Chain A
């Protein structure tokens, strides 16, 4: 719905050929501008990995407790055998018959990512709808808002038993955990975003003869989108945290389950291997959301998007 309002202006501008060179230029400028940042990121990682390797080299870091990167990243097949075990370690199935090591790692990563995405999608849609209902119908606000406000500061980890009572094991409790981690905060964010919409934008709509529905779809929704995306990004890390916890309680397979298994089998190399994977995926997620933000919210001045939180 929001895209109908936002997609058309871009279409309008791509029709004008005179904007093409400036856009190419902006792309290159963005890439060049990102290079120093990328350089420092690599340097920073290399710096700490280097310290670690050095400590191992002089014998201070015990490789059985703190194996340095070249060890836990070095033997991919060795680590990969612990991934996607639910499918490959089933009784009566030859362990080597399962997917290749790379596939096993990818399947595990995908399982976790899909749970995060499912929870993300459900929480976004549900919180947007509830936030709107609260702002549009006073009885809903009176009935629902106090409870939402009460539950918002509760750590999502506290919901873990509830997730297991309700859904047992499997995908559902993990998705539920992500949902809970995002939902309450995002309801409150939606409300505060709606409240902070410039009154005159709404007045303009009313003067032009917009219906309530049109005011919502054409004015309020595009106006609150920037703030909501920021909130979503901030809460994404929380969602990643809880999905790992949920998976650690025996969902079948997933990154959290691998970490739990590594703990139980005392395999620090596997722990660090998984941490690296999680770190990389988390950054990719954040980067993607930023890119979405920049594309969908082309009208928000740079810098404002990151400040205007809930």
Chain B
């Protein structure tokens, strides 16, 4: 047990989170979440809207405090943000006053890395993201997909061991999303980082994940963890993939129904 704990990249032990705990507006988002992510593993989080997936990523990133339980990253208790655990948001959240290369190396600049070295890192990372052309551009001169690639590049520049991604491709069209998934898998192979990836798309989970964790409606608990034993590169039209998709759809449907029922009850009560 002890060995298993230290060897996990991320280890959630009975994690609970209540927003505004102790106040009348207290709101339980997560309850008793147990989840282990092995080093280099790709885990997708799937669940109805509002079940606490983003909350879990924020807790692992160290941006918010948990109410109960514990989170370990590579055996160390998480009690604040760290560059080795990078979080990528649904919106790219690039700083609009910095050029692309400065955004990519923003983290390095905070730690006093020289301009020459930063430009070098930016060149490498942007080349890998297929964005060498955008080096000197400003974020508002880029398309949505390019911006999201810059934000992935920005995370990579810090060489994180854990990449937390909160619906990073949700705002993109189908073709761009497919390209971005390929890009992400390349990054993942090349860096050997562990990835926790929130998505609403069952197809995306089947295409990317080693394992898929399905959440219940709020308060979020883990309902099931499904292994995706499909060879890579994946054929999402293969019968096994179809079967898996059906299984996940079934698991999710009940929870989405429950989440909607609850929300309807809430709105009619108000």
Given A13-B99, A218-B110, CB of A209 within 8 Å of CB of B83: yes
Q: Do the beta carbons of A210 and B110 come within 8 Å of each other?
A: yes
- Closest partner residue, chain A, to B157 (CB atom): A208
Q: Mark A172-190, 1 if CB is under 8 A from B, else 0.
A: 0000000000000000000
Q: List 29 A-B contacts (CB under 8 A).
A: A5-B97, A6-B97, A8-B102, A9-B97, A9-B98, A9-B138, A13-B136, A200-B91, A201-B93, A203-B61, A203-B63, A203-B89, A204-B106, A204-B154, A205-B106, A206-B63, A207-B63, A207-B81, A207-B83, A207-B85, A207-B86, A208-B83, A208-B110, A209-B110, A214-B110, A218-B110, A222-B97, A299-B140, A301-B140
A145 to B101, CA, bound (A): 40
Q: How many residues of A contact B (CB 8 A)?
A: 27
**B87 contacts which chain A residues (CB < 8 A)?**
203, 207
In the complex, which residues 135-179 of chain B have their Cβ closer than 8 Å to any Cβ of chain A? 136, 138, 140, 154, 158
**A208 contacts which chain B residues (CB < 8 A)?**
83, 106-107, 110, 158
- Closest partner residue, chain B, to A225 (CB atom): B97
Q: Do the beta carbons of B136 and A16 come within 8 Å of each other?
A: yes
Whether, in the assembled complex, A36 has its beta carbon less than 8 Å from a beta carbon of chain B, the answer is no
Whether, in the assembled complex, A303 has its beta carbon less than 8 Å from a beta carbon of chain B, the answer is no
- Closest partner residue, chain A, to B105 (CB atom): A208
Among A8, A13, A204, A207, contact of B95 (Cβ-Cβ < 8 Å): A204
- Closest partner residue, chain A, to B96 (CB atom): A299
Whether, in the assembled complex, A198 has its beta carbon less than 8 Å from a beta carbon of chain B, the answer is yes
A103 to B110, CA, bound (A): 51
- Closest partner residue, chain A, to B101 (CB atom): A12
In the complex, which residues 117-146 of chain B have their Cβ closer than 8 Å to any Cβ of chain A? 136, 138, 140
In the complex, which residues 219-234 of chain A have their Cβ closer than 8 Å to any Cβ of chain B? 219, 222-223
Q: Mark A4-43, 1 if CB is under 8 A from B, else 0.
A: 0110110011001000000000000000000000000000
Residues of A participating in the B interface, judged by any CB pair closer than 8 Å: 5-6, 8-9, 12-13, 16, 198, 200-201, 203-211, 214, 218-219, 222-223, 299-301
Q: How many residues of B contact A (CB 8 A)?
A: 28
- Closest partner residue, chain A, to B92 (CB atom): A200
A235 to B150, CA, bound (A): 39
Given A208-B110, A208-B158, A214-B110, CB of A299 within 8 Å of CB of B138: yes
**B138 contacts which chain A residues (CB < 8 A)?**
9, 299
A9 to B107, CA, bound (A): 16
A12 to B93, CA, bound (A): 21
Q: Do the beta carbons of B96 and A200 come within 8 Å of each other?
A: no
- Closest partner residue, chain B, to A300 (CB atom): B96
**B102 contacts which chain A residues (CB < 8 A)?**
8-9, 12
Q: Do the beta carbons of A12 and B97 come within 8 Å of each other?
A: no
Whether, in the assembled complex, B82 has its beta carbon less than 8 Å from a beta carbon of chain A, the answer is yes
Q: How far is the CB of A218 from chain B (nearest CB, A)?
A: 7
In the complex, which residues 213-268 of chain B have their Cβ closer than 8 Å to any Cβ of chain A? none
Q: How far is the CB of A48 from chain B (nearest CB, A)?
A: 41
Q: How far is the CB of A308 from chain B (nearest CB, A)?
A: 12
**B136 contacts which chain A residues (CB < 8 A)?**
12-13, 16
Q: Do the beta carbons of A209 and B107 come within 8 Å of each other?
A: yes
- Closest partner residue, chain B, to A301 (CB atom): B140
Q: How far is the CB of A69 from chain B (nearest CB, A)?
A: 45
Whether, in the assembled complex, B25 has its beta carbon less than 8 Å from a beta carbon of chain A, the answer is no
